[in-house]
A and B are shown apart, each in its own frame.
Chain A
Amino acid sequence: MSNLSTAEHSAATSSPLLTVKQLRVDLPVAKGTLHAVRGIDFHVERGEMLCLVGESGCGKSMTSLALMGLLPRKAQVNADCLNFDGVDLLTVPERERSNLRGARMAMIFQEPMTALNPAYTLGNQLSEALRRHQRVSRQAAHDRALYLLKRVGISAAEERMRQYPHQLSGGLRQRVMIAMALMCEPDLIIADEPTTALDVTIQAQILHLLRDLQQEFGTAIIFITHDLGVVARIADRVAVMYAGEVIETASAQALFKAPSHPYTQGLLRCIPTPGKTLPGSRLQAIPGVVPSLVGKIEGCAFCNRCDQADERCRTTPPLQAVAGEHFSRCHFAHQLASPAPLNDQEVTS
């Protein structure tokens, strides 16, 4: 628990670990340019858990791959600022970038079944993550891998070290991926929907584990999910994404108490009772479809699905402060943030 206070301490005294301003990711497609990420802003404090939420296709993975420098080659990245602990990720040479990857920023992927190389033992794949970045002996790397396997809750770890990925279940593989991300004690872990492919009970265990590890190691985590139920359980702060933009960002507490964007409100209205709703089904409760990301979007991107929309929404709303660290990209953010936010009749009619 002492780690918590360390995290709070450094957050108060120094600049954020990661600062993202106006990040854009463009992909050339047959019909033109797909703007997968359309100018998003957020920051991550040291040791905090930031949740990036949004439905499928809103650009969560593209954002995280842009941070890691792992975008497909054809993708174009732009930003006003992409700063990781003093390093400008936009201009840093690829060589130094790869020194950061795995060492100071690590990533956990959605699909544990395919994320490990089938041809090598777990021990091999864990050790190489450390040996790439630090001059340590084979034995030291082995010991570290073994320690972390035990720490992420894998029994018979010594034996597992010699096993191949196909000999493990999905939940175990995801634990291995988490151990792998921790090998060099990174400052930041990006977890891109790490529990989506797992069944509900395993999902809960992994969430719990990540939360524990984050506090034990003081690692900042960007946790990506499309599930607000998950967010409620683990987030310190939340950034809600829609069609390649961050449309609302706030502390988890503030967001759940006073959501100030119609999209967030819609999402909250369809939060399921845990265990009863199938994963993936929850966000479809908001009627309408996401606008095409190919080409420019005129006005508010949520306009066609918004039950609060009026004339003003033909112009693009700015991201405006609702309260201290609470921002919303809606013309009516202030009204919506007021005491009875879910009583939408008043506003529409």
Chain B
Amino acid sequence: MWAFVFKRTLIALSVALTISVLCFSLLQLSGDLALSIGGPEATAEQVEQIRVDYGLDRPVIQQFTTWLWGAVQLDFGRSYYYQSEVMDLVVERLPVTMTLGILALAIALGVSIPLGVVAALKRGSWIDRMAMAIAVTGQAMPNFWFGLTLIIVFAVKLQWFPAAGSDSWQGFVLPAVALGYYATPAMMRLTRSGMLEVLEADYIRTARAKGLRTGTVIFKHALRNAVIPVVALAAVELGFMLGGSVVIETVFSLRGLGQLAWNAISRNDYPVVQAIVLIIALFYIVLTLLADILNAALDPRLRAR
């Protein structure tokens, strides 16, 4: 098991390094940074001054290593726009996005796994068809639209929850539902198909031949094997949610990482954009690593690899 964890961690680290290179070079490829920072009215001298001020006149490799060395120490430089440390901005916004993402994942898991199990057990019943309907609409509906619908119904009409803001926990409910709903269909379908497949397995017949109770057969013997792929998917979905919270945070005016990213992009605030892209990517890597480890814990056959 530990050898497995170690190997996976090494792979994750090398992926992280690759991503940091990509992340840095993407911005280099996006054009002359000094020109876009200076704006359309800047004179040639001003642009040259910016180039020197921001260190853009140095060789690319040197710029990269300086940036990477900073990034390793969690120092992403200063924001062009806010005139404060990028890291301070991120640290201030991160809890909001994390809360939103984890809440959304919890909602998605809490809905999709029970629904997927019931849909598989009562295949073809009204519950199964309802679950399918939810899955189809969930996949077809853009999440900003769903978010706005939630605001209209639950914030404006019923006034159960605030429409915007992250000051109280109530403010997180609607955005978490909107974000979580987006991940539900895929996880539900995977649970359902996993259960259908596992229920046909020989070892389920063995479990029943031992006289085990239906609950034990379903939850201990079937679900345990059926959720293995769902765990991997959940990690990926959480990554998506952290990234996808850009839209939801904007719709619900949450001061999270997504909103910061949006503002930074529209203001050419490159250090902030770079930092956020890298951080989200790192989250993604860590989540995938955790999913691998969790998978191995659930499925002993994976540990040998």
Q: Does A68 contact B (CB under 8 A)?
A: yes
Q: How far is the CA of A341 from the CA of B210 in the complex (A)?
A: 44
Residues of B in contact with A, size category:
20 to 34
For A98-131 the 0/1 string (1 means CB < 8 A from B) is: 1111110011010100111111100000001100
- Contacting residues of chain A (67-118) with chain B, CB-CB under 8 angstroms: 68, 70, 98-103, 106-107, 109, 111, 114-118
> From residue A244, how far is it (CB to closest CB) to chain B in Å?
21
- Contacting residues of chain A (265-282) with chain B, CB-CB under 8 angstroms: none
| Given the contacts A164-B300, A164-B301, A166-B301, A117 and B203 also touching, CB distance less than 8 Å | yes
> From residue A198, how far is it (CB to closest CB) to chain B in Å?
16
Q: Does B124 contact A (CB under 8 A)?
A: no
User: Which residue from A101, A115, A118 sits with its C-beta under 8 Å from B299?
Assistant: A118
Q: How far is the CA of A128 from the CA of B300 in the complex (A)?
A: 19
Q: How far is the CA of A102 from the CA of B208 in the complex (A)?
A: 8
Q: How far is the CA of A87 from the CA of B179 in the complex (A)?
A: 56
CB pairs A–B below 8 angstroms (20 shown)? A70-B208, A98-B211, A98-B213, A101-B208, A101-B211, A102-B212, A106-B209, A114-B201, A115-B205, A117-B224, A118-B203, A118-B299, A118-B301, A128-B212, A132-B211, A132-B212, A132-B216, A133-B211, A164-B300, A166-B300
Which 10 pairs across A and B sit closest by C-beta, in order of nearness?
Answer: A102-B211, A101-B211, A102-B210, A114-B202, A164-B300, A117-B203, A107-B209, A129-B210, A98-B211, A166-B301
| Given the contacts A68-B209, A103-B211, A118-B225, A111 and B300 also touching, CB distance less than 8 Å | no
| Given the contacts A164-B301, A166-B301, A116 and B210 also touching, CB distance less than 8 Å | no
> From residue A239, how far is it (CB to closest CB) to chain B in Å?
22
Q: How far is the CA of A111 from the CA of B211 in the complex (A)?
A: 19
Q: What residue of chain B has the Cβ atom nearest to residue A164's Cβ?
A: B300
Interchain CB contact under 8 A, A101 and B201: no
Inter-chain pairs besides A101-B210, A102-B210, A117-B207, 12 sampled, C-beta below 8 Å: A70-B208, A100-B211, A102-B209, A109-B205, A109-B206, A111-B202, A114-B202, A115-B202, A117-B206, A118-B203, A119-B224, A132-B211
Q: Does B221 contact A (CB under 8 A)?
A: yes
Interchain CB contact under 8 A, A115 and B211: no
Residues in B with CB closer than 8 Å to A70 are 205, 208-209
User: Which residue from A111, A119, A132 sits with its C-beta under 8 Å from B225?
Assistant: A119
Binding site for B on A (CB under 8 A): 68, 70, 98-103, 106-107, 109, 111, 114-120, 128-129, 132-133, 164, 166, 177, 180
> From residue B289, how far is it (CB to closest CB) to chain A in Å?
21
Q: What residue of chain B has the Cβ atom nearest to residue A114's Cβ?
A: B202
Q: How far is the CA of A103 from the CA of B211 in the complex (A)?
A: 8
Residues in A with CB closer than 8 Å to B202 are 109, 111, 114-115
User: Which residue from B210, B225, B298 sits with its C-beta under 8 Å from A128?
Assistant: B210
Q: What residue of chain A has the Cβ atom nearest to residue B304's Cβ?
A: A166
Main secondary structure of the interface of A (DSSP, over half): loop
Residues in B with CB closer than 8 Å to A107 are 209
Q: How far is the CA of A111 from the CA of B209 in the complex (A)?
A: 14
Q: How far is the CA of A100 from the CA of B210 in the complex (A)?
A: 9
Binding site for A on B (CB under 8 A): 201-203, 205-213, 216, 220-221, 224-225, 298-301, 304
Residues in B with CB closer than 8 Å to A120 are 220, 224
Q: How far is the CA of A17 from the CA of B277 in the complex (A)?
A: 72
Q: What residue of chain A has the Cβ atom nearest to residue B210's Cβ?
A: A102
Main secondary structure of the interface of B (DSSP, over half): helix
Q: What residue of chain A has the Cβ atom nearest to residue B301's Cβ?
A: A166
Residues in A with CB closer than 8 Å to B225 are 117-119
Q: How far is the CA of A107 from the CA of B206 in the complex (A)?
A: 8
Residues in A with CB closer than 8 Å to B299 are 118-119
Residues in A with CB closer than 8 Å to B220 are 120
> From residue B128, how far is it (CB to closest CB) to chain A in Å?
16
| Given the contacts A164-B301, A166-B300, A166-B301, A116 and B211 also touching, CB distance less than 8 Å | no
Residues in A with CB closer than 8 Å to B203 are 114-118
Residues in A with CB closer than 8 Å to B208 are 70, 98, 101
Q: How far is the CA of A111 from the CA of B203 in the complex (A)?
A: 10
Residues in B with CB closer than 8 Å to A111 are 202
Interchain CB contact under 8 A, A116 and B224: no
> From residue A116, how far is it (CB to closest CB) to chain B in Å?
6
| Given the contacts A70-B205, A109-B205, A111-B202, A119 and B212 also touching, CB distance less than 8 Å | no
Q: What residue of chain B has the Cβ atom nearest to residue A101's Cβ?
A: B211
Q: What residue of chain B has the Cβ atom nearest to residue A98's Cβ?
A: B211
| Given the contacts A70-B205, A99-B211, A101-B211, A117 and B221 also touching, CB distance less than 8 Å | yes
Residues in A with CB closer than 8 Å to B201 are 114
| Given the contacts A109-B202, A111-B202, A118 and B211 also touching, CB distance less than 8 Å | no
> From residue A100, how far is it (CB to closest CB) to chain B in Å?
7
Q: How far is the CA of A100 from the CA of B209 in the complex (A)?
A: 10
Q: How far is the CA of A128 from the CA of B220 in the complex (A)?
A: 11
Q: How far is the CA of A106 from the CA of B221 in the complex (A)?
A: 18
| Given the contacts A114-B201, A164-B301, A180 and B224 also touching, CB distance less than 8 Å | no
> From residue B16, how far is it (CB to closest CB) to chain A in Å?
31
Q: How far is the CA of A100 from the CA of B300 in the complex (A)?
A: 31
Q: What residue of chain A has the Cβ atom nearest to residue B209's Cβ?
A: A107
Q: What residue of chain B has the Cβ atom nearest to residue A117's Cβ?
A: B203
Residues in B with CB closer than 8 Å to A133 are 211
